[in-house]
Amino acid sequence: TGFGIHNAKQLRDADPVWIKKQFSVVLMRTVLELRGESCLKLEEPEESRKSLMCGRSFGKPLKELEDIRPALTHFVQNAVTRLWKYKQATSALTVYLSTNRFRKNIAQRSVSASVELSTTDNLIL
């Protein structure tokens, strides 16, 4: 990448605060996990859910679909992994995107799209 991080060792050695600012808290936790610090709390098993949401803010403003697509793919794969964990399937998938609501100086926009399906297949989702 343009950030000089090309492998897991370089990611592990990166400054977690900088990673959080540039990317996300999720990637910062990955850095900490690579260093051997557990970021997961032990939790009681969850009850069966009627919905599952996987969403995050982007580390920087994105304008092009090609910049957004990898993150969307990651979030869908994360959701599928959680579905598998709880032995569940989905009947619908909804993607929702919006502008940064904290930046009052720009026009606020949002869009969503839904598709009905019944699968846990990553390739279909």
Question: So what's the pLDDT on residue 32?
Answer: 93
DSSP classification of residue 14: S
Question: So what's the pLDDT on residue 88?
Answer: 78
Radius of gyration (Cα) for the chain, nearest Å? 17
Question: So what's the pLDDT on residue 28?
Answer: 92
Question: So what's the pLDDT on residue 90?
Answer: 77
Query: Which has the closest alpha carbon to 111: 92, 90, 96, 123?
Result: 96
Distance CA 109, CA 119 (A): 30
Question: So what's the pLDDT on residue 111?
Answer: 85
Distance CA 48, CA 1 (A): 40
Question: So what's the pLDDT on residue 54?
Answer: 76
Render each residue's pLDDT in the chain as its tens digit; 125 residues.
578 888 889 999 999 999 999 888 889 999 999 999 988 776 656 566 677 777 777 777 888 888 888 888 888 888 888 888 877 777 788 888 888 878 888 888 888 888 887 765 666 66
Question: So what's the pLDDT on residue 102?
Answer: 80
